[in-house]
Chains A and B, each alone.
Chain A
Amino acid sequence: MGSVRAEFLKLKRSLSWAVVVLLPLMAVITGAANTVVSGGRLEDGWHTLWLRVVIFYGLFPLAIGVAALASLVWRVEHHGGNWNALMGRHVSSLHVVIGKVAVLAVLAAAMQTVLVVGVVVVGKLVFALPGVLPAPYFLVSVVIVLACLPVAALQSGLSMLMRSFAAPVAVALLGAIGGVVLLMTRLEVLAVVVPYGLLGRATQLGTGMFVDSGTVTTGAVAAVVVAALSLTAVVVAGTAAILDRLDIR
């Protein structure tokens, strides 16, 4: 699809890559530093390291990072005559929106890859953990990337409508706080239909935190995946419909 391929070209020399690398690395470094400061003990090996890195990361920084990426990929369109050019071509509004979400999906996957590689490197080099990160966490990582999609689609829509870089990021922070409240009050059904709550839920998979059972179950994974794909489809369709009706002033 031409619009998706064109979007990837815009990532060249983009600041997005800095977010992709720095944000997960900060989460890994913070998790490792906390462990070192508290005596350097990882009671349950890789599982404990994973918990220390991913739980907080999934509650706030991840949603904010995805929001920052969405603001960055739309920022270039708000410059000069780019909006007019973007909408003055025969590319449909749906393709424009899908192009942006596809780029965000790849950036989210890259961010998760950096996180996983960071956890493995720190686990081996700093804590000398045996073996490698257990397989379920790789599955959880894929689920986390999928759960990033509704947030990416929603933030993409907000960044499309707002010229401001910070305003959509602020919305993501509020959304993440709302998501945490839903998870803490154990309103799982509600949490998985709100993009920010769903992202928080996905990062808790297998951790035993909040609504999670502590093991990665097929039911929990399926619920997150189905919700993520459905929410993404709804938000993308809604954003495309808004874009199609939008006047470019």
Chain B
Amino acid sequence: MVGHGGPVAEMITTHDLGKTYGGRAVVEGLDLRVPKGCVYGFLGPNGSGKSTTMKMLLSLVRPTTGEIRIMGRPMRRSTRRELLGHIGSLIESPPAYGHLTGRENMRLVQRLLELNDDQVVRAVHTVRLHDHLDKRVRDYSLGMKQRLGIAMALAREPRLLILDEPTNGLDPAGIDEIRRLLKQLADGGITVMVSSHLLDEIDRTATVLGILGNGRMLFQGTRDQLLARSTPDVLIDTPEPQRAAALTAQWHPTRVDGEAVRLSGLDHKGTAGVVSRLVRDGIDIYGVRRDAQSLEDVFMDLTGGRGL
């Protein structure tokens, strides 16, 4: 787990956070820990409760149970306006008024939040939208709308940025651009919480991952901690895979995988035991190795295969 430095080291903490709609729990018992200055990848299949959680963090939706603290202060309806001044957000679809140009939308945010020209120019340059500001937003591509939405969220120079599926509907180049942007923002000291149902979209950017399934936290921690959660299969290369599999199946889940025998859930001691038993039974062994396991496999495993 992350964030052992107490509440001050964390931008967001929640305790037993839950939301129920019509008797159905959409989010349940959520204990989020988002360290300051990190990119927090909030992952989960569609419908797992990511948007509802993010809406609760912004107090757009009131929790049924639990509490939220942002920058150490409780986030409630009575306190939200003060805290929202430090938070930029983009939830679900990108905002913006289609009948206005990009420039007019930025001016609108400027007036609303009483920002100066420099803040607006910086935000627009950060998302590289400065060449498209005089076009009406209804004529923007989805990628441009997402970037404008991020610029609108960034203009107030927030300490925390909450982005819900910002790469949704983008092409690979657009996804890569958002990825680089998030990294750049985090390098600038902003805490970024970003959700996605696609692991590889944020896997390389996120320093901390939170994985949600059916409204519950399945995992929270670093990428390495996530990989360590699951033991990769052992592959034994042998000229007699059928005979070897018949033997090992007596003690461990086994299947033949080409010229190898694949064994699941084996620790180091178990692996040594299996190898010595096979050698004792006169089966030649050419090699023993752990299968390369991707984060994706672990994610699939945690979300019951619904993740990707």
Contacts and interface: CB of A to CB of B under 8 A. Distances in A.
Interface of A: 2-3, 5-6, 9-10, 12-14, 76, 79-82, 84-92, 244-245, 247-249
Given A10-B108, A81-B91, A90-B84, 12 more contacts: A6-B109, A6-B111, A13-B100, A79-B98, A80-B94, A88-B89, A89-B112, A91-B112, A244-B77, A247-B61, A248-B55, A248-B61
Contact of A84 (B55, B62, B97): B55
Given A9-B107, A12-B100, A79-B98, A247 B60 contact: yes
Contacts of B145: 80
Contacts of B92: 81, 84
Contact of B99 (A2, A13, A89): A13
A202 B60 CA distance: 40
Interface in B48-82: 55, 58, 60-62, 77, 81-82
B113 interface: yes
A9 B101 CA distance: 11
A3 B100 contact: no
B61 A249 contact: yes
A76 B81 contact: no
Lowest 8 CB-CB distances: which A-B pairs, in order?
A85-B95, A90-B85, A84-B91, A80-B93, A248-B60, A6-B112, A81-B93, A90-B84
B100 A2 contact: no
6 contacts: A9-B100, A10-B108, A81-B149, A88-B89, A244-B77, A248-B55
A18 to B, nearest CB: 13
Given A87-B60, A247-B62, A2 B114 contact: yes
A80 B96 contact: yes
Given A13-B100, A88-B89, A247-B61, A82 B95 contact: yes
A5 B113 CA distance: 11
A1 to B, nearest CB: 9
B63 to A, nearest CB: 10
Contacts of A247: 60-62
B214 to A, nearest CB: 19
A6 B264 CA distance: 61
Contacts of A92: 81
Contacts of A244: 77
A90 to B, nearest CB: 4
A187 B252 CA distance: 88
Contacts of A249: 61
B297 interface: no
Contacts of A89: 84, 112-113, 156
A167 to B, nearest CB: 22
B17 to A, nearest CB: 15
Contacts of B111: 2, 5-6, 9
A2 B113 contact: yes
Nearest to A244: B77
Nearest to A5: B111
Contacts of B84: 88-90
Interface of B: 55, 58, 60-62, 77, 81-85, 87, 89-100, 104, 107-109, 111-114, 145, 149, 152, 156
A62 B94 CA distance: 35
Nearest to B58: A88
Contacts of B90: 81, 85
Nearest to B60: A248
Nearest to A15: B99
A85 B153 CA distance: 8
A113 to B, nearest CB: 24
Interface centre among B55, B77, B109, B111 (most CB of A within 10 A): B111
B152 A85 contact: yes
Nearest to A96: B112
Nearest to B99: A13
Among A86, A87, A88, find the residue whose CB has the most chain B CB atoms closer than 10 A. A88
B104 A9 contact: yes
Contacts of B97: 10, 76, 79, 82
Nearest to B152: A85
Contacts of B156: 89
Contacts of B152: 85
Contacts of B93: 80-81
Nearest to A248: B60
A91 to B, nearest CB: 6
B83 to A, nearest CB: 8
Contacts of B89: 84-85, 88
A88 B114 contact: no
A247 B55 CA distance: 9
A90 B155 CA distance: 13
A173 B193 CA distance: 47
A3 B60 contact: no
A180 B193 CA distance: 55
A87 B91 CA distance: 11
A12 B111 CA distance: 15
B152 to A, nearest CB: 7
B86 to A, nearest CB: 8
A19 to B, nearest CB: 15
